[in-house]
Chain A
Amino acid sequence: MSDSRPAGPAAVELHSATIGYGDVAIVRDVDLTIGAGEAVAVLGSNGSGKTTLARGLLGLATVLGGDVRVLGAPVGGLRERGRVGYVPQRHTVSGAVPATVREVVGVGRLARLGLLRRLRPADRAAVADAVAEVGLADRLDDPVASLSGGQQRRVLVARALAAEPELLIMDEPTAGVDSASQESLATVLARISAAGTTLVVVTHETAPLAGVLRRAVVVDHGRVVHDGPLSQAAAHEEPGMHHHPPGREPGGYRQDQPTVTTRSRRPGDQEH
């Protein structure tokens, strides 16, 4: 898909990048370019380094060698950090102290506001919109602890959406999530992908988001072993990985869901 990239700066560029923690390299010597507006799955088994690769883009893992650029700037050097959204792999959002959905999602918006600016009416509206987007508008002022696991994961997605990011990096957003939440997620991702947001989704199961993600980067033992259309990635997945034929996976996600597929465009179609 790299040939269909638009002319603007790439969303993600790795040149001979080595990423790890402390002195330990986990991802080694990776070259990868993700164009603005692409929707990419980063696949691999447990321990393959796919999560470290994504965390390297966020500054949560250390770039030990080579060059990593996100939205044209070196990692950590991007001025407006709100342009990069992140959905961590976390099964619950409820902390020690009660917090409402509105409060948790509001944190996502702070990334756009610098150190001292408070949420203004426009920011509050963006927070409410992000919550509505994931189908939880009626739970806005409920404590997150009262939500189901799948709903709490949707809160994390809303938190990332509240900043209206250009690049959204997600770590296992569908793992252990009920089918209603998976469908909600697929619909949301299809919409923001169509609107030009670049998606990088670290996952071990492609089926729930098969209608959205176009390109697959398969990581194994810290190296990219396959890069191409998602439909051709299955051969590189290990037997233990949960890949199901579209429309038949147990999660209940339906491939014929019209909202998922018809609104997504090819990655190269966006203007930037």
Chain B
Amino acid sequence: MDILDYDFMQRALLASLMVGLVAPAVGVFLVQRRLSLLGDGLGHVALTGVAVGVLTATSPVWTALVAAILGAVLIELVRARGRTSGDVALAVLFYGGIAGGVVLLSLAPRGQATNLDSYLFGAITTTSPQDVVVFAGICVVVLLSVALLGQRLYAVSDDEEYARAVGLPVLGLNIVLAALVASTVVLSMRVVGLLLISALMIVPSAVAQLLARSFRQTLLLACGIGVVVSVSGTATSFYSGTPSGGTIVLIAIALFLLVSAGVAVRDRTARRRHRRRVDVHDAHPHEHGEDCGHPRVLHDDHVDYDHDGHRHAPHRTGEGVHYDEHGAGPVGAPQDRRTG
């Protein structure tokens, strides 16, 4: 494959593989916490770090990492104070981050600010060999942290108050999650870009949520989707000459729309089948009730009626009541009061 003949493309594909795997792995927790935009904000903050790196001739990856992690810790401390100004404080931090970045970059000698686009939207030619090493380190640290602390991070993201009541270190876990997000932001700054990384954290998770039944499934599926869209977007970018970050995110969103449509069609078909069954019972001669003569059968949290060998469950809708089929035969004697 000619695409792999170029060293810069090998590095770009490697970086896209890592960011595609890692971004959804932290993004699922952000979605659960309803903090989907945290990655976006930390991307803004990282830009100031990038600018400091450019100005001081240090590797911008390291300075961005320091800035993003400091920003992450600050955000969680502000949130933990729980004051109403927290929202405003976040906005100040985020926009201060991007404004500081833009201004500092403009001060750089020989107009370095022309590189701004590649930091914001990703470019396939910019990943250096040293970047790949740092990215690999970040990748290992984030994946290990999620593997070790995943259940606790889920607990805190799902129900922070409960986690606090049973003694989990809520603030510590929130800071860990924010620091993982910050690290992922930095991992993204070459191929995806600081302004678009949040999409790669959130959109694969949104697709996976439509298909999965458990949190674990969602997490694994989102990582798989992330790798596919990230690597295919980077390759597409090579052929189309478009910025890699934008290409990756458009592919991810196209996938999201496709799967949403598929799920909608599936649900409509299921509803239509349901309605067809309802038609059978439109001619139902009576409403089931205490005295209708059909044996009552307790089924989980509701009552079915044994109707000539198949069970009817009343389903009340805005248009009245109809009866759903809940399987053939009674689940047990009508006196069976067991509730599950």
Give the interface size bracket for B toward A: 35 or more
A60 contacts B165, C-beta separation under 8 Å: yes
For residues 211 through 232 of chain B, which have their beta carbon under 8 Å from a beta carbon of chain A?
212-218
A136 beta carbon closer than 8 Å to chain B: yes
Task: Verify if B34 is at the interface (C-beta below 8 Å from A).
Answer: yes
Interface contact A96-B339, CB-CB below 8 Å: no
B301 touches A150 (CB 8 A): yes
A103-B214 contact in complex given A81-B166, A97-B28, A97-B209, C-beta closer than 8 Å: yes
**Interface check A175, CB cutoff 8 A:** no
In chain B, what residue has the closest Cβ to A169? Answer: B165
- Known contacts A103-B216, A107-B155, A143-B213: A96-B167 contact under CB 8 Å: no
A98/B215 contact (C-beta < 8 A), A58-B165, A86-B165 known: yes
Task: Provide the bound-state CA to CA distance between A139 and B216, in Å.
Answer: 17
Given A95-B158, A97-B32, A138-B340, verify A180-B300 contact (CB < 8 Å): yes
In the assembly, what is the distance between CA of A86 and CA of B215, in Å?
Answer: 22
Report whether A97 and B167 are in contact in the complex, using a CB–CB cutoff of 8 Å: no
Among candidates A84, A148, A150, residue contacting B166 with C-beta atoms closer than 8 Å: A84
B39–chain A nearest beta-carbon distance, Å:
15
Contact of A137 among B34, B212, B214, B340 (CB under 8 A): B340
Question: Chain B nearest CB: distance from A225 CB in Å?
Answer: 27
CB <8 Å contact, A59 and B165: yes
Number of residues of chain A lying within 8 A (CB) of chain B: 50
The yes or no answer to B152 lying at the interface (CB within 8 A) is yes
Residues on B with C-beta less than 8 A from A97 are 28, 31-32, 205, 209, 215, 218
Instruction: Report if A88-B162 is in contact (Cβ < 8 Å); known contacts: A97-B31, A106-B151.
Output: yes
- B214 and A163 within 8 A (CB): no
Inter-chain contacts of B214 with A (CB < 8 A): 98-100, 102-103, 141, 143
Mark contacts of A58-82 with chain B using CB atoms, 8 A cut-off: 1 yes-contact digit, 0 otherwise. 1110000000000000000010011
Residues of B contacting A: mostly: helix
Are the C-beta atoms of B166 and A82 separated by less than 8 Å? yes
Choose one: A93, A118, A178; the contact of B151 (CB below 8 Å). A118
Contact status of A135 and B155, CB under 8 A, knowing A96-B32, A98-B209, A111-B166: no
Contacts of A104 in B (CB 8 A): 158
Task: Tell me the bound Cα distance from A137 to B338 in angstroms.
Answer: 12
User: What is the 8 Å Cβ interface bit string for chain A, positions 183-207, against chain B (1 contact, 0 not)?
Assistant: 1100000000000000000000000
Query: Could you say which of A96, A110, A181, A184 has the most chain B C-beta atoms within 10 Å of its C-beta?
Result: A96
- A-to-B contact residues, CB < 8 Å: 58-60, 78, 81-82, 84-86, 88, 90, 93, 95-100, 102-104, 106-108, 110-111, 115-116, 118-119, 134-139, 141-143, 148, 150-151, 159, 163, 178, 180-181, 183-184, 257
B residues adjacent to A (C-beta < 8 A): 28, 31-32, 34, 148-149, 151-152, 154-155, 157-159, 161-169, 205, 209, 212-218, 298, 300-302, 337-340
